[in-house]
Amino acid sequence: MGSHDLDESRRELLARVLQHGGVLAAPFGHAGEDSHESRGRADIAALEEAGHLVVQRDDEGRPSRLELTPSGYRVLGID
């Protein structure tokens, strides 16, 4: 998945992680408060599968920490 393959929501998610120094803890805040959580989870899974994010999960399997990989930086145009 290159930068041309990213849809707007996935590019925004990577940019959001970048804005937090490349690591975003609690990407959805408190569970159940983000109405886009299901879409976000699909984007996170796709970006993780593509190698753009490293995802840590809580005991219930929810993403709890996102970290850009070197590939994630590259896809955002940052080398």
| Cβ partners under 8 Å of residue 37, min gap 6 | 28, 31
Q: Which residue has the higher pLDDT, 46 or 25?
A: 46
Q: CATH number of the domain at 3-75, out of 1.10.10.10, 1.20.1540.10, 3.40.50.300, 3.50.50.60?
A: 1.10.10.10
Residue 24, pLDDT score? 87
How far, in Å, CA of 41 to CA of 28, rounded? 9
pLDDT digits (tens, 9 = 90+) for 28-70: 765 555 545 677 888 999 999 999 999 999 898 888 899 999 9
- 70 vs 4, higher pLDDT: 70
H helices then E strands: how many in the chain? 3, 3
CA gap 18, 38 in Å, rounded: 21
Please give the model's pTM, rounded to 2 decimal places.
0.79
Say what the pLDDT of residue 35 is.
47
Burial 9-25 (b: 16+ CB within 10 A, else e): ebeebbeebbeeeeebe
